[in-house]
């Protein structure tokens, strides 16, 4: 049976893990996970997103913008969308055999 001090220590670790998961996401270049990313790459990425009117600090906004663009593409060019869906289905069907 666990003691109170062991349970308290485990609870503290779980709270820290929860806080780290809820931390806001940062731009890919701002993290140390990409050692090969140079500052010029980051600046180019930021410049490209700002040209398009996007903010790379909010992943939910980026996802919403992407879905809106795909929805607009499907409405504006239905033949292209149908062709892409058929082509993707064909490729996936051939790969699954």
d(CA 26, CA 69): 23
Give the Cα separation of 53 and 22 in Å (integer).
26
Task: Quote the pLDDT of residue 32.
Answer: 43
pLDDT digits (tens, 9 = 90+) for 59-91: 787 888 888 888 898 899 999 999 999 999 999
pLDDT for the residue numbered 35: 55
Residue 95 above 60 pLDDT? yes
Q: What is the pLDDT of residues 41-65, one digit of tens each?
A: 677 877 887 787 777 777 787 888 8
Cβ contact 56:45 at 8 Å? yes
Please, what's the b/e burial string for 16-28 (b: 16 or more CB within 10 A of its CB; e: otherwise)? eeeeeeeeeeeee
pLDDT at 23: 59
Write out pLDDT tens, residues 6-36: 989 988 998 888 887 775 555 555 554 455 5
- What is the distance between the alpha carbons of residues 70 and 44, in angstroms, rounded to a whole number? 24
Give dist(CA 67, CA 64) in Å, integer: 5
**Residues 11, 60, 58, 49: is their CA dihedral positive or negative?**
positive
């Amino acid at each position: 049976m666990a003691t109170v001090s062991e349970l308290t220590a485990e609870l503290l670790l779980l709270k820290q893990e929860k806080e780290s998961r809820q931390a806001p996401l940062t731009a890919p270049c701002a993290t140390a996970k990409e050692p090969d990313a140079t500052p010029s790459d980051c600046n180019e990425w930021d410049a490209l997103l700002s040209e398009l009117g996007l903010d790379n600090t909010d992943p939910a906004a980026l996802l919403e913008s992407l879905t809106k663009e795909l929805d607009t593409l499907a409405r504006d060019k239905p033949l292209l969308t149908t062709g892409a869906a058929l082509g993707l289905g064909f490729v996936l069907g051939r790969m699954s055999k």
